[in-house]
């Protein structure tokens, strides 16, 4: 069904929905499934009996997920509207339902703000915020047509707590938090929930291929500070929770009748978010400085 997102009112006539061969399995679409939390989430949903559509920018090299019978691997770039629309049209035509969308695609831009280029910051927002919004916008007409659905946005404790050298990344995650909270009100009348997952320190490639690091040059007044803080992050990432801990929580939230809006998970997230509620800013800042050697 072409250009469904441009149609006015109810996106599909009831007869159109009935004409589809609706899958007996619940269907989940996951972005950023090539590694880390995204890949673990695809595996966890498949194990729970869901039909999984695992998307990524470059799926040609993905072998593990293709071995799972109820997983489809499709190309999707969250910054490319046509690739997004193609995936959802394909999923709807094949399965006749989209129960859950997991917006996981994203990366972390690290570096002192003053020395980070406007182009790098714009790219961070294009992926982490506008990309997430693009995918959500594409999914909603289908969910409204079926009168149910769940949007699960992968945020971070960094959406409620800032740490050094991640000002641009935190700006995107704070944006995702506000977007999701507001969206949840708008979608409730259609039987759709918008939910946040807030991982803590997780052992993924966040400091590897999932990172864009604006390292200060020699002679920069930020260089010694950067080196000291970066070393603390490397140590913390090695001791983080496994991605499958987050994946388990995502599946749980997708299957829970009345999930919470915010769901901190793994890497001390529950403790940190509880502390954030009760401690004054000065105490939180002191704790962060101690942990990051900042």
98 Cβ contact list (under 8 Å, min separation 6): 27, 29, 88, 91, 92, 139, 142, 143, 146, 149
Distance CA 280, CA 263 (A): 22
* Candidates 107, 142, 166, 169; catalytic one: 169
The closest of 192, 178, 186, 180 to 150, measured between CA atoms, is 192
Distance CA 222, CA 237 (A): 22
The closest of 132, 77, 73 to 104, measured between CA atoms, is 132
5 catalytic residue (yes or no): no
142 catalytic residue (yes or no): no
Distance CA 152, CA 132 (A): 10
120 catalytic residue (yes or no): no
107 catalytic residue (yes or no): no
* Candidates 33, 39, 142, 155; catalytic one: 155
* Candidates 34, 40, 156, 168; catalytic one: 34
* Candidates 107, 142, 166, 173; catalytic one: 173
**Spacing of C-alpha 161 from chain mean position:** 17
DSSP category for residue 216: P
Distance CA 141, CA 225 (A): 47
- By annotation, the residues acting in catalysis are 34, 155, 169, 173
């Amino acid at each position: 069904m072409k250009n469904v997102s441009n149609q006015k009112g109810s996106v599909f006539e009831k007869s159109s929905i009935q004409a589809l061969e609706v899958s007996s399995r619940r269907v989940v679409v996951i972005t950023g499934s090539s590694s880390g939390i995204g890949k673990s989430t695809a595996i966890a949903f498949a194990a729970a009996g869901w039909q999984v559509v695992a998307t990524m920018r470059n799926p040609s090299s993905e072998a593990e997920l293709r071995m799972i019978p109820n997983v489809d691997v499709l190309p999707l770039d969250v910054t490319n509207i046509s690739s997004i629309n193609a995936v959802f049209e394909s999923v709807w035509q094949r399965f006749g339902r989209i129960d859950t969308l997991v917006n996981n695609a994203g990366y972390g831009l690290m570096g002192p703000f003053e020395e980070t280029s406007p182009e790098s910051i714009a790219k961070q927002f294009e992926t982490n915020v506008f990309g997430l919004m693009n995918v959500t916008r594409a999914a909603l007409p289908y969910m409204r047509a079926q009168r149910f659905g769940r949007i699960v946005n992968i945020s971070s404790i960094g959406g409620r707590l800032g740490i050094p050298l991640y000002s641009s990344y935190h700006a995107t995650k704070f944006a995702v938090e506000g977007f999701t909270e507001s969206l949840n009100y708008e979608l409730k009348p259609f039987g759709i929930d918008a939910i946040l997952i807030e991982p803590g320190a997780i052992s993924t490639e966040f400091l590897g291929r999932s990172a864009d690091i604006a390292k200060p040059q020699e002679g920069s007044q930020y260089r010694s500070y950067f080196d000291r803080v970066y070393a603390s992050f490397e140590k913390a990432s090695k001791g983080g929770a496994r991605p499958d801990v987050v994946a388990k929580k995502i599946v749980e939230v997708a299957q829970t009748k009345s999930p919470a809006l915010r769901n901190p998970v793994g890497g001390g997230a529950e403790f940190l978010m509880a502390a954030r509620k009760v401690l004054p800013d000065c105490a939180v800042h002191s704790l962060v400085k101690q942990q990051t050697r900042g």
